[in-house]
Chain A
Amino acid sequence: DIQMTQSPPSLSASLGDKVTITCQASQNINKYIAWYQQKPGKAPRLLIRYTSTLESGTPSRFSGSGSGRDYSFSISNVESEDIASYYCLQYVNLYTFGAGTKLELK
């Protein structure tokens, strides 16, 4: 089984800040990582697939990078609508989510 270690569990940011979330896989996942945004009471929304490919409708202030076991997800110029929880997902071998990161306003 592939494990995904996501950090930090929570993040406090001011509007306009840049924030970064990381996920480390327990083995090489060959860039098969996706990132999701979830707002309270709503289903998750896919933002990025295959490390850095933005889904249609994902604002360009979102980005992803990484390789091997180590990956990151960033939001530049945080906006109020970005306040949510974020999850990584490996999909190279079955599926495993990271534990999530809750982004709050400072």
Chain B
Amino acid sequence: QVTLKESGPGILQPSQALSLTCTFSGFSLSTYGMRVSWIRQPSGKGLEWLATIDWDDDKYYNPSLKSRLTVSKDTSNNQAFLKITSMDSADTATYYCAWTSRAPFAYWGQGTLVTVSS
């Protein structure tokens, strides 16, 4: 059974960097074809794909945010990470990680709310 859970700081100040962790079970990110992605959703708004990391460490980023994003993984501890620099109030959202194998974003974490406020 695949499960994922996001963790983060909850609140941070403008201009700070956000670091998020996705801890998962039920698959290995070193197995061929596996990938973990990050998606966010401002309250009451739509979904926005941010970044994806593959089993072979290939990385993909949303072109509109690419300069601010870094995705990485720790396969031995079943974790994936997302860093976003220069956070602003517009980045306030629920951040999700999701698993892709045959199907895109087949399983999601519960999400973690990140609020950017001074």
Contacts and interface: CB of A to CB of B under 8 A. Distances in A.
Interface of A: 1, 34, 36, 38, 43-46, 49, 55, 87, 89, 91, 94-100
Interface in B4-27: none
Interface size on B, as a range, is: 20 to 34
Interface string B39-65: 000000011110010000000101110
Contact of A36 (B48, B52, B62, B105): B105
Contacts of A55: 103, 106
B30 interface: no
Contacts of A1: 63-64
B103 A97 contact: no
Q: Which 8 A-B pairs have the closest CB atoms?
A: A43-B108, A95-B49, A97-B47, A91-B104, A49-B103, A100-B46, A99-B46, A46-B106
B110 interface: yes
A91 B39 CA distance: 14
Nearest to A45: B108
B96 interface: yes
B115 interface: no
A43 B109 contact: yes
A98 B111 CA distance: 20
A50 B104 CA distance: 9
B103 A46 contact: yes
B94 to A, nearest CB: 9
Given A43-B109, A99-B46, A94 B60 contact: yes
Contacts of B60: 94
24 contacts: A1-B64, A34-B103, A34-B104, A43-B96, A43-B108, A43-B111, A45-B108, A46-B103, A46-B105, A46-B106, A49-B102, A49-B103, A49-B104, A55-B103, A87-B46, A89-B49, A94-B49, A94-B63, A95-B49, A95-B105, A96-B49, A97-B48, A98-B46, A99-B46
Given A44-B96, A89-B104, A91-B104, 17 more contacts: A36-B47, A36-B105, A44-B47, A44-B108, A46-B103, A49-B102, A49-B103, A49-B104, A89-B49, A89-B105, A94-B60, A95-B49, A96-B49, A97-B47, A97-B48, A98-B46, A100-B47
